[in-house]
Amino acid sequence: MSPVFDCSDEAQLLAGMRQARQAIGRGELVVLPTDTVYGIAADAFSARAVQGLLDAKGRGRQSPPPVLVAGIATLRALVAEVPEAVERLVAAFWPGGLTIVLPSQPSLSWDLGDTHGTVAVRMPANNMALELLEETGPLAVSSANLTGQSAAITAFDAKHMLGDKVAVYLDGGPSATGIASTIIDATSLVTGSVPLVRVLREGAVDRAALREVLGDLLEPDPMRDGDSGGA
């Protein structure tokens, strides 16, 4: 039976982090807390481990997992280019609940699924997650739940859904907000003739906060019920 480590206890924290590092190194899966919801993590550079993550969630290759990183230096290594507007977003919202999609570095040898040459990257505001990322390198991380079910906000929620498909569970207590990250697509800032950032999923960072940083580079807000679309 896969162990659950209570990371509020220092001895269990040390043992859990050690076993989590070892599990990632073996290509196994780990559930860990983040600043948004609990995540299920795998070595981003192990195609077998990433496929195991997708299989555990019941998710297809058409929905590749995001990658969590320990800082902007790792972001630069994973993507083809970091546009100036993305630099501003990172300064404003990292570490935190903003996932940014950019064209991936073409020289990287990895297989996250059907990414169409992009990667979704985030730096979480959680010390335990950041410490693990510093030691393992980039991790493919998706919300720790079965596809179609609510994201886990406790380690035991995750274990109830994922069971022994996961090797190690790190219990950092209930998620502070239970709100998933906002995902934006910034690929057109690198490859598009018309640069425009699109919001793929609204979450922890709202559109108003994004617009403060991006201005007109952010897509227009969606029309609300009752809007006529007129002047």
pLDDT tens across 11-24, in order? 999 999 999 999 99
pLDDT at residue 136 tops 50: yes
Alpha-carbon gap, residue 163 to 86, rounded angstroms: 38
In this predicted model, what pLDDT tens digit does every residue of 17-66 receive, in sequence order? 999 999 999 999 999 999 999 999 999 999 999 999 999 999 999 999 99
Task: Give percent of the chain above pLDDT 70.
Answer: 97
Query: Considering the entire predicted model, what is its pTM?
Result: 0.93
Confidence band (pLDDT; 50, 70, 90) for 223?
confident
Are the C-beta atoms of 127 and 118 separated by less than 8 Å?
A: no
Cα dist. 94→125, 126, 132, 139 in Å? 7, 11, 17, 17
| Nearest-10 Cα torsion for 162, 75, 180, 92 | 160
Q: Is the pLDDT of residue 219 over 60?
A: yes
